[in-house]
Amino acid sequence: MGISRREFLKIAGASAIVGLGGISAIEILHPGQFEASQVSRGPKALVGKRWAMVIDMKKLDKQTMQKCIDACHRIHNVPDIEKPKEEIKWIWKETFEHAFPGQEHEYMGEDIKHLPLLVLCNQCDNPACVRVCPTKATYKREDGIVMMDMHRCIGCRFCMAACPFGARSFNWRDPRPFIKEENKEYPTRMKGVVEKCTFCYERLAVGLQPACVEESKGAIIFGDLEDPDSEVSKILHSKYTIRRKSELGTRPSVYYIV
Amino acid sequence: MHEEWKTLFDPSSPKQVPLVRKFFDGWKVTIGLIVFLGISILPFLFDLGKAAPPPPEPKIDTPEIQKMVEKKCIEPKSFMKTEHMVMLDDWRDWYVREGRSIYTATDGKQYNISLSNTCMKCHSNKKKFCDECHNYAAVTPYCWDCHIEPKEEG
Ligand code: SF4
Ligand code: SF4
C-alpha cells in the first residue's frame, strides 16, 4: 500500500503542530490530575528583579574574609583540592592588582597592590558565560542570578573561556573524596561539570541572605538594584563604588568600595 | 555498459552464465552462520531452565513512614509508581530553572521541591526502595552522582 508523498507531508506537518504545543507526558497520561496541582514560590522567598552585592573592603578584614569563604564552601559542598589547576572555588581572595588590572600604578605601595580582595562570580547583567553555553546549562534567571543547571552541563568549558573573571571551576575529578564534611541538604557535583557561585539561590528561596553576607558582619550588603529603596541602591547612589573590568561590558552586579 | 558485462547479462549470448550458479564458499559461509547464530542465542541458552528473577518488592518500612498515621505518598501510589520519573523531571525544572520551590499536591498539601530533603526524608532506604526496582528494570539513573543519598547500614 504505502502512502503518497503528499499524505506523508500532511501527517508530518500535523505531528509537528501537535508537538509544538508542548504537551508534557504527565498531561497526556493523567489528564486533569496535574492541573489541580501547582508550584509556587516559598512564602518567605526573597524576590528581586536584579540581585546585587556591595562589598565594602574597608570593613572586611582577613579573618572575616576567610569566614565568608569557609561558610560558602561548607554549605555548598565545595571540595578542597590543593592542586592549583584542579582547585574549585566559588568565592576566594584575590590581590588588588589582579582583581582590578589597570587600576594599579607604579607609585602604588606594595601593601595596596597586594591587598587581598574578596571575589566571586559577578552575576553579570550581560553575562559572557550565558552567551556561549551551548546547552543553556548556564542561564540568567528573572532575578538576575546567573544560574547553573548541573543536570544540563556537558563540561565543554566554553563558559570558562568566556568568563573574564575566572569565576568558574571545572571538576577534573570526582569531588566527593575532597569534601571534608558533607552538607546533606545540598548536592555535590560530579566529575565533568563546571560550577560557580549562584548567589545562594537556595537560601533566597527560603528567605535567607547569601551565606557570605551573613558571615561578613555587615561588610557585604545584598539587595535588589531595581528597588530604589534597597540598601544596595542607596549605597550605589551615594558612595563611590567600582566594578571589576567594567570596560569589558559584562555589567557585573558585584560592586566594591575599596 | 562495458561490452564484457553486456554479454554476461544477455540471455542470447553464448557467454551468458546464470547469476547465482554456485554458492561460493558455501561451507565457510554456513559455518559462519552457525557460529553467529550460536553466539546470538547464547544469553537465552544460559538462562534456560532458570527461574525468572523475582519481581521487585520495594520496601516502605522506614522509621519516617512508620510514624505516619495514614501511609501516603505526596500523590496516589499508582501515579507515583509509573510517573515518578516524569514528576522528578518537572520538579527539577520548576526548582532549578524557574525558582519555584513549593509543590502543591492534588490533595492540597504543600511540599518543598527537593529529592534529598523531601522524597528521601521518608524513603530513607534507597537500597530497598529505589534500587530494588531500578536494578530489576536495569535502569541506572544518575541522581546519586550529585544528590547525597541517605546513610544506610550495610
Ligand atoms: S562573572 Fe563570569 S561566570 Fe559570573 S556571570 Fe559574569 S561572566 Fe558569568
Ligand atoms: S561547561 Fe557546562 S555550563 Fe559551561 S558552557 Fe559548557 S555546558 Fe554550559
Over the stretch B26-37, which tens digit does the pLDDT of each residue have? 889 999 999 999
Q: What is the pLDDT of residue B129?
A: 94
Whether A29 sits inside 8 A of B90 (CB atoms) is: no
Contact A146 CB / ligand 1 (< 6 Å): yes
Residues B71, B140: one domain?
yes
Q: What is the rounded CA–CA span in Å between residue B82 and residue B71?
A: 18
Take atom 7 of ligand 2 and give the residue whose Cα is closest: A153
Residues B93, B122: one domain?
yes
Residues B17, B70: one domain?
no
How many domains does chain B fold into? 2
Residues B73, B99: one domain?
yes
* Residue B72 is assigned to a structural domain of this protein: yes
The boundaries of the domain holding residue B72 are 63-145
Residues B40, B78: one domain?
no
**Neighbour-count burial for A133-148, b at 16+ CB within 10 Å, e otherwise:** beeebbbbbebbbbbb
- A190 CB neighbours in chain B (<8 A) are 142, 145-146
pLDDT along chain A (258 residues), means of 10: 70 69 54 61 91 95 95 97 94 94 88 91 97 97 95 96 97 95 94 96 95 96 96 96 95 96
- B145 CB neighbours in chain A (<8 A) are 190
Q: What is the pLDDT of residue B8?
A: 63
Q: How far is B104 from chain A (nearest CA, A)?
A: 5
* Residue B124 is assigned to a structural domain of this protein: yes
Q: What is the rounded CA–CA span in Å between residue B142 and residue B151?
A: 18
B60 near A CB under 8 A = no
Q: What is the pLDDT of residue A1?
A: 47
Take atom 4 of ligand 2 and give the residue whose Cα is closest: A159
Residue B42 in 3-state DSSP?
helix
Q: What is the pLDDT of residue B21?
A: 58
* Residue B35 is assigned to a structural domain of this protein: yes
Residues 6+ apart with CB under 8 A from A13: none
Lookup result for grid cell 498531561? A27
Residues B70, B130: one domain?
yes
Take atom 5 of ligand 2 and give the residue whose Cα is closest: A133
Q: What is the rounded CA–CA span in Å between residue A243 and residue A210?
A: 20
Which tens digits make up the pLDDT trace of B6-32? 666 666 666 655 555 567 788 899 999
CA atoms within 13 Å, Cβ hemisphere of A47 = 10
Take atom 6 of ligand 2 and give the residue whose Cα is closest: A156
Q: What is the rounded CA–CA span in Å between residue B129 and residue B60?
A: 7
| CATH number corresponding to A35-257 | 3.30.70.20
What's the pLDDT band for B98 if we cut at 50, 70, 90? confident
Q: Which residue has the higher pLDDT, A121 or B107?
A: A121
Whether B83 sits inside 8 A of A30 (CB atoms) is: yes
Q: What is the pLDDT of residue B20?
A: 56
* Residue B154 is assigned to a structural domain of this protein: no
For residue A33, give the nearest of B79, B94, B116 by CB distance: B79
For residue A39, give the nearest of B103, B106, B142 by CB distance: B103
Residues B71, B134: one domain?
yes
Q: What is the pLDDT of residue A63?
A: 94
Residues B135, B86: one domain?
yes
Residues B97, B42: one domain?
no
**What type of residue sits at position A148?**
M
Is A117 in contact with A95 (CB distance < 8 Å)? yes
Question: In chain B, which residue's Cα lies nearest the Cα of A184?
Answer: B148
Please determine, for residue B110, whether its predicted confidence score (pLDDT) is greater than 50: yes
- B102 CB neighbours in chain A (<8 A) are 39-43
Whether B104 sits inside 8 A of A37 (CB atoms) is: yes
Residues B25, B68: one domain?
no
Residues B103, B69: one domain?
yes
Please tell me the pTM assigned to this model.
0.79
Residue A38 in 3-state DSSP?
strand
Give the residue extent of every domain in chain A.
Answer: 35-257
